[in-house]
Amino acid sequence: MVETATRQDVATSEAAAPPAPAGPLRRWLSVGLRVVVVAAIAVGMVWSVVDQWPQVRSTWLGLAWQSVVLSVLAALAGMVANTMAWRAAVDDLEHRVSVPAALRICLVGQLGKYIPGSVWAYVLQIELSRRVGLPRARAFLATLVSVGLGVTAALGLGLLSLPALREAAGGDDSTYADSVRVALWIVAALFPVALVCAVPRVLTALVQLALRVLRRPPLEHRLTWPGVLRVVGWSALGYTLFGVHLWLLANAQATPGLEGLLRSVGSFAIAMTVGMFAFLSPSGLGVREAVLVAALAPFLVDSGGVGAAMGIALASRLIFTIADVLAAGLAALSGVRQLRRDAPAGAAPAAE
């Protein structure tokens, strides 16, 4: 009973009385800021595509359109799964967000990563969360919890590709061996910490500490094993789908089979996780690309080896850009349709 009382249903809060209208200057500043953010995201996305195209062009033109379409769909499904992981974290933090609202928050918010700097996606998600009634502090913590538990899930899946990456790290190919060694050191350091922090008692203590620092009311209940497992499960599904996305691209040029699928899932999970620490990587390939190349190159010996694997890794980045645009567009469109459905109901009382 107490737990039910402490949870806030965001759908109810969305129907609450609207706030007092802001002054003209504040409205213009708000509109101007939105225009600047949208423009910055658009420029960042265009630059990302233009910058990658010369390197990925030959690989991209050699891919079957069916593989590209299926790969985009797998990436989209993975993004939805990650959104559900974030929603599960919000739920365990004693709030509720509807699935459509969560999709808008996460899928539109993730476009912030195209603005230079590593925090804008999270800032945008927090702002979008506030608009549907979720307090900024809880939105921030939900993001931290979902990212942290997502790292745990990713590193667990990464065990699937660990033997292959260890073999690559011990090889003589300087194109990626040094970067793969860095990735393995990061995994070795992160995994034990991630496992300990995923224990609900420990995770609850960390969340309570963050709430004290933010001067916000503490949680009424501890985070639960079912809640943690839901976040980890959805995150694991997301990373698995991302691995399928990579495997589909490799399958367009070779026959990686089941072993290639397992390597793709494990290597992609590790690559996305250690990519956060790319500044530790030595010169040469970026650490994310190095991990993917090391996993894929053995299956692409007859198709170009390291060069073909590098092309697929870069094609993967380009496909994620396409998927980001599609996901954000569909999520935003659902929000517009929701507003149109709600408009007549909101206008009726005014007419009376």
11 within some domain: no
pLDDT of residue 180 exceeding 60: yes
Stretch among 175-189, 266-280, 304-318 having the lowest mean pLDDT: 266-280
What average pLDDT score do residues 301-313 get? 82
Higher pLDDT, 215 or 234: 234
332 within some domain: yes
The pLDDT of residue 3:
45
The pLDDT of residue 191:
93
Higher pLDDT, 113 or 262: 262
Range of the domain at 230: 63-97+137-340
192 within some domain: yes
Mean pLDDT of the chain, nearest integer:
81
The pLDDT of residue 183:
87
Higher pLDDT, 152 or 220: 152
User: What's the pLDDT band for 12 if we cut at 50, 70, 90?
Assistant: very low
93 within some domain: yes
The pLDDT of residue 27:
56
Count of structural domains, the chain: 1
User: What's the pLDDT band for 246 if we cut at 50, 70, 90?
Assistant: very high
168 within some domain: yes
Percent of the chain with pLDDT over 90: 38
350 within some domain: no
161 within some domain: yes
SS (H, E, C) the chain: CHHHHHCEEHHHHHCCCCCCCCCHHHHHHHHHHHHHHHHHHHHHHHHHHHHHHHHHHHHHHCCCHHHHHHHHHHHHHHHHHHHHHHHHHHHHCCEECCHHHHHHHHHHHHHHHHCCCCCHHHHHHHHHHHHCCCCHHHHHHHHHHHHHHHHHHHHHHHHHHHHHHHHHHCCCCCCCHHHHHHHHHHHHHHHHHHHHHCCHHHHHHHHHHHHHHCCCCCCCCCCCHHHHHHHHHHHHHHHHHHHHHHHHHHHCCCCCHHHHHHHHHHHHHHHHHHHHHHHHCCCCCCHHHHHHHHHHHHHHHHHCCHHHHHHHHHHHHHHHHHHHHHHHHHHHHHHHHHHHHHHHHHHHHHHC
The pLDDT of residue 181:
86
Max avg pLDDT among 171-175, 188-192, 276-280: 188-192
The pLDDT of residue 351:
37
The 10s digit of each residue's pLDDT in 60-110 is 878 888 999 999 999 999 999 999 999 999 999 988 999 999 999 999 998
Stretch among 4-13, 166-175, 256-265 having the lowest mean pLDDT: 4-13
The pLDDT of residue 82:
97
323 within some domain: yes
